[in-house]
A and B are shown apart, each in its own frame.
Chain A
Amino acid sequence: MVYNYYPGCTLSTKAKKLDIYARAAAKALGFELAELKEWQCCGAVYPLAQDAIGERLAAARSLAAAEDGKLVTLCSACHHVLKRVNADMAANGEICAKVNAYLGEEETYHGQTEVWHYLEILKREIGFDEIARRVKNPLTGRKIGAYYGCLLLRPAGVMQFDDAENPGILEDFIAALGATPIIYDYRNECCGGYLTLTDKQATGEMVGRVIASARQKGVAELITACPLCSYNLEVNALGTEMPVHYFTELLAEALGLKEEETACR
């Protein structure tokens, strides 16, 4: 199976690990991520205002470029923006008409593409049971906390990713790899996001609370799907620290691909 793939700006640069391990694991699991020929940065934040049309164009172009069926994402922010703009194109007549007027394509785009996160492919198309069968290096005994943050889950009605207040997809993923998922209180609270540029102290306190709450429940390492969450957790946490990995790194490790990959490089 070949899926259209939208990597986004950060996965080609600062978050290469999120991308390369996803591609390697896909290959091992029997599917392929085919990068869209022309994609533009999604803008990283969903434009909340009804009259923010220009800010929706890049996302709409990428959505329209994924002609057949599904568009797969990895970064939480890209996923959030693409999914929400797609919902606007499908259900918000004013936005759909104005965006199409700018796009100027022969065929109008009205949200036909399905936006899938890589985790949703793993769960719904491959199956966590199948992944568990393919694990070569079970991560037995590792106590891992899933850090969801905001963007994958909210707003639940549009994202339809998981129960926004009590999610389980990442915990099921961790368990499939043979590790022990640990639930802690701040797993779906904000990391401080873009405030890292304007108020480092604020983000520091927020990720500090996330890590403290994880540690209190016995978490030894965190996983995330978001480069900015990962950065804030690793760089900004005040007075505490905890190892943070992308979920794809963990997958590659359990599938026995991490050593191969490192050897190649």
Chain B
Amino acid sequence: MQIREMEEAAEVLRISTVKAENCMQCGKCSAACPAGARMDILPHRFVWELMNGRVSLLAKSGTLWQCLSCFACSARCPRGVDPARLIEAVRLTVIRRQGANSINVDELPQVIDENMPQQAIVSALRKYNK
């Protein structure tokens, strides 16, 4: 890896502004997470993997696409760590590459119904595409 991966991890931490080293792995973030049941890597584990530099593992994780940015984890962390920002930072390293958009916009008309608010479309495109 590993030098390159450690550098990537450092960059993720930098743009997230999160002090991941304060995490004590108590798991409160994961307990609070409404999307945890659908995540392959739970928020507390996500923080741990990142602290250990495993960005390539996290970049493949389904957690990136299940996180709702609801900030329950961040609000309830007793150590001021902000897992939502870490997940966002890894997601950005994925979608900021050419051709890595997660939503195929040509397929969007099939999932948009007449009552769906613009807010849903704008936010999903902001989270999943660049």
Contacts and interface: CB of A to CB of B under 8 A. Distances in A.
Nearest to B113: A235
Interface residues of A, number: 47
Given A150-B71, A189-B34, A194-B68, A9 B124 contact: no
Contacts of A43: 122-123, 126
Interface residues of B, number: 40
Contacts of B74: 154-155
A8 B117 CA distance: 11
A202 B35 contact: yes
Nearest to A51: B15
Residue among A41, A51, A156, A194 having the largest count of chain B Cβ atoms under 10 Å: A194
Given A45-B127, A202-B38, A197 B70 contact: no
Contacts of A226: 119
A150 B124 contact: no
SS class, residues of chain B in contact with chain A: helix
A192 interface: yes
Contacts of A197: 103, 108, 111-112, 120-121, 124
B84 A48 contact: yes
B22 interface: no
Contacts of B72: 150, 154, 189-190
A154 B75 contact: yes
A235 B113 CA distance: 10
A213 interface: no
B100 to A, nearest CB: 15
A206 B34 contact: yes
Interface string A28-69: 000000000000010111111111100100000000000000
Given A9-B122, A15-B117, A49-B88, 18 more contacts: A13-B117, A14-B115, A14-B116, A43-B122, A45-B126, A50-B16, A150-B68, A150-B69, A154-B74, A193-B69, A193-B70, A195-B35, A195-B68, A196-B120, A198-B103, A202-B35, A228-B123, A230-B117
Interface of A: 8-10, 13-15, 41, 43-52, 55, 75, 77, 150, 153-156, 164-165, 189-190, 192-200, 202, 206, 226-228, 230-231, 234-235
Interface of B: 14-17, 34-35, 38, 65-66, 68-72, 74-75, 84-85, 88-89, 92, 102-103, 108, 111-113, 115-124, 126-128
